[in-house]
A and B are shown apart, each in its own frame.
Chain A
Amino acid sequence: MAHPYHVFTQAGYAVDFVSPQGGAPPMDGIDHSDGMQQAFLDDAAAMAKVRASLRPAEVTPADYVAIFYAGGHGVMWDFPNNVPLAQIAQQIYEAQGVVAAVCHGPAALVNITLSDGRYLVAGKTVACFTNEEEVAVGLTEVVPFLLESTLAERGATISKAPNFQAHTAVSERLVTGQNPASATPVAEEMVRVLAEQG
């Protein structure tokens, strides 16, 4: 999340944070040897925003040009069935905004539908943490569902690279990435698509 945040702010965007429960989200997977992660941790203003993340009900979708779902295995439990978060993404997308997700973040996409009732991912090309990567990390039997398989069931065409290689997919205004290495490329693609939107 620190890397996309850097890309967004360097491109001139303001960033807000939201989480299903609001407030301070669990901080995990921190690598203090990663200069950008450490810089984020040292950024008092950014950290204050994270610790006071908005609740979905506090978000006005019209205020945002894009929504980015971060990853981590935890999102497999609290993103897919969060209706308010899905509605925020739907409204941003239908207002010509960008919806993006990386690693397990595309778990948020499995139940997002558009006004016509179709799944957002139906007919689109999507990258996500793959079934092979889930096997590689030994969590196939732990996660509540296989992300790649479920997105394919929703009508997405899965695009993937070998395990843990950076890989992104851009399909209309949906930008997705496969794994942690894809976080920065996804953010960069978002900025590019937003620039094209004008």
Chain B
Amino acid sequence: MQSKILIVLTSHGQLGNTGVLQAFICRRWPTRTTSSRRPVTR
């Protein structure tokens, strides 16, 4: 039988502009960034 993983998500809406902030962080320091490579800043 296929093993299962449970992902837990929030039910709490983000605060004010926090969601925008998170999107900013994700764009600027994308997930593929690794600890051996410094983020690219413009």
Contact = CB atoms under 8 A, between A and B. Distances in A.
Contacts of B3: 12-14, 65, 194
Contacts of A33: 27
A63 to B, nearest CB: 6
Contacts of A120: none
B6 A64 contact: yes
Interface size class of B (residues with CB under 8 A): 20 to 34
Interface string B1-42: 011111111111111001111110111111111110011000
A157 interface: no
A119 interface: no
Most buried by A among B4, B11, B26: B11
Contact of B34 (A14, A69, A166): A166
Most buried by A among B6, B13, B25: B6
A158 to B, nearest CB: 16
Nearest to A182: B31
Interface string A52-87: 010000010001111111101111011100000100
B9 A25 contact: yes
Interface of B: 2-15, 18-23, 25-35, 38-39
9 contacts: A15-B4, A16-B5, A20-B10, A28-B14, A29-B20, A30-B23, A74-B10, A164-B33, A184-B31
